Structure 1
Amino acid sequence: MKHLIIILLSFISVNVFSQKIHLFNGKDLNNWYSDVPAKDKDSTLRKSFIIRNGLLVSMGTPEGHLISKSKYSNYKLEVEYRFAGKPGNCGVLVHASTPRALYGMFPKSIEVQMMHENAGDFWCIVEDIQVLDMETRRGPKENWGITEGKERRIKNLTDNSEKPLGEWNKMVIECKGDRIKVWVNGDLVNDGFSSTAQKGQIALQAEGAEVEFRKVDLTPLK
């Protein structure tokens, strides 16, 4: 009987631990708060993030971030998104911490780029990460950095992984220890290691273009 109880408790523990968390529930933004610097001076500006027809929508402007209330480490994040109109810029930030750490706008984090035709690039925002072939993908080493004016972009591994405009893209970000892997529509598009951050909040950007999200799900990893 004791062995059966231990087995049952282990089974329950595994299932609870691996349970998917719907960061976006299709109804509201209760798991998030927004940080939009322009609203400090003008609180009447429109909301940068709304719910529309069951979708989470980044309106693009005023620019800012939608930030998770909770912090996470060791997880798989699944994001399904599409540009609602004209293509443009957006991103998912992982291991986010200090707000407005860069250009008075971006929280300290590692950004996984969603910009049209550049999905899967890493951008270092007062945090750093390494990849293979760093100089090929980041430029001359003397220009590397994590603050204003430095070479913070690390190019992704593939071309043509994104779906045509108007179609839904699936981005999967796996954060485990100091490693971050990114897939776009099933293609491995980035694989970073030695990340200077291993835990933090998750943020979605409003950065000029309207983007719709129908899924933002997080699954804890062992």
Structure 2
Amino acid sequence: MRSTAQANKAEAKWISLFNGKDIEDWFVKIHHHEVGVNAHETFRVEDGMIKVRYDKYGDFNDQFGHLYYKTPYSYYRLVVEYRFAGELQRGAPSYTVLNSGVMFHSQDPHTMPKEQDWPISVEMQFLAGLGDGKVRPTGNMCSPGTDIVFQGKKYDGHCLNSSSKTFGKDEWVRAELIVLGDSLITHMINGDTVLQYTHPTMGGGVANNYDRSVWQEGKPLKSGYIALQSEGQPIDFRKVELLPLR
């Protein structure tokens, strides 16, 4: 007779969240627009990749956006392969240059008002070097509308840098998340563990104009939606795969 661990290992299979052809299993929420409106074709599929582009924009006008997979998850490994492309869109905040990410444990975007800018979620932030020789790690943590515990204490800040090296603008990077409900979260870059923290909860600031009935300070974040980010910097995603762990 197989052990439970052997059975679980045999049954676990990686799921391709992106099929390489379309984003029919995904839906969009962009600031200033209703959920489901892919304004300016921000998210599109070309050359077998999900591309975030702004060639149909005028001024950026704080149109921060996210592309959500249709199913929420709780315990899983997530792999995202990305590279930055192009130039920062006119009018986008300077801090968003070569900056993007993947959100997880996110609220359902259908609960987001039109004027909510960021989803209540945790972000694995992606950055690339600015060409100035300064260290700029990727695989960091940011926390819109949330809090985390780092090294045994509630983290007093919005973003927390990882220990990764700095990558160039056009380099493909493999980012991996290991999410164990509301307990341990692990960030990995190109196979190396670069950050770990625990106990994500609702809290903090940064997210604005959310429905007050949705945000509950101190509520553990045990599951939620996964979303690819758009905040003014063109970026490509060629792989988005998930392995359920429970």
TM-score range for the pair, normalised by the shorter chain length: 0.7 to 0.9
Q: Distance in 2 between matches of 1:88 and 1:153?
A: 16
Q: Distance in 1 between matches of 2:242 and 2:5?
A: 22
Q: CA deviation at 1:126?
A: 1.5
Where in structure 2 are the equivalents of 1:1-222 lying within 5 Å?
7=2, 14-16=9-11, 18-40=12-34, 45-59=39-53, 62-86=63-87, 88-99=98-109, 100=112, 104-116=116-128, 117-132=136-151, 144=156, 151-156=157-162, 158-160=163-165, 162-177=166-181, 178-196=183-201, 197-222=221-246
SS in 1 for 2:117: coil
Assess if the C-alpha contact under 8 Å between 2:138 and 2:164 holds in 1. no
Indicate how the Cα distance of structure 1 residues 163 and 89 shifts in structure 2: closer, same or farther if over 3 A, else same.
Answer: closer
Indicate how the Cα distance of structure 1 residues 220 and 159 shifts in structure 2: closer, same or farther if over 3 A, else same.
Answer: closer
Indicate how the Cα distance of structure 1 residues 194 and 12 shifts in structure 2: closer, same or farther if over 3 A, else same.
Answer: closer
Indicate how the Cα distance of structure 1 residues 51 and 132 shifts in structure 2: closer, same or farther if over 3 A, else same.
Answer: same
Q: Whose helix fraction is larger, Structure 1's or Structure 2's?
A: 1
SS in 1 for 2:143: strand
What are the ranges of 5 or more consecutive residues in structure 1 without an aligned counterpart?
Answer: 139-143, 145-150
Indicate how the Cα distance of structure 1 residues 104 and 179 shifts in structure 2: closer, same or farther if over 3 A, else same.
Answer: same
Assess if the C-alpha contact under 8 Å between 1:82 and 1:165 holds in 2. yes
Q: Distance in 1 between matches of 2:125 and 2:238?
A: 18
Q: Which amino acid aligns with 1:218?
A: L
SS in 2 for 1:15: helix
RMSD of Structure 2 on Structure 1 (CA):
2.7
Deviations 1:33-71 (A, max 9, x none): 00012345xx79411100011111122664311011100
Q: Which amino acid aligns with 2:123?
A: E
SS in 2 for 1:90: strand
Number of residue pairs the alignment of both structures matches:
198
Indicate how the Cα distance of structure 1 residues 159 and 77 shifts in structure 2: closer, same or farther if over 3 A, else same.
Answer: closer
Q: Distance in 1 between matches of 2:104 and 2:159?
A: 15
Q: Which amino acid aligns with 1:154?
A: L
Assess if the C-alpha contact under 8 Å between 2:29 and 2:38 holds in 1. no
Q: Distance in 2 between matches of 1:189 and 1:53?
A: 31
Indicate how the Cα distance of structure 1 residues 104 and 19 shifts in structure 2: closer, same or farther if over 3 A, else same.
Answer: same
Assess if the C-alpha contact under 8 Å between 1:85 and 1:166 holds in 2. no
What are the ranges of 5 or more consecutive residues in structure 2 without an aligned counterpart?
Answer: 55-59, 88-96, 129-135, 202-220
- Higher Rg: 1
SS in 2 for 1:208: coil
Identical positions, percent: 30
Q: CA deviation at 1:107?
A: 0.9
Indicate how the Cα distance of structure 1 residues 159 and 20 shifts in structure 2: closer, same or farther if over 3 A, else same.
Answer: closer
SS in 2 for 1:108: coil
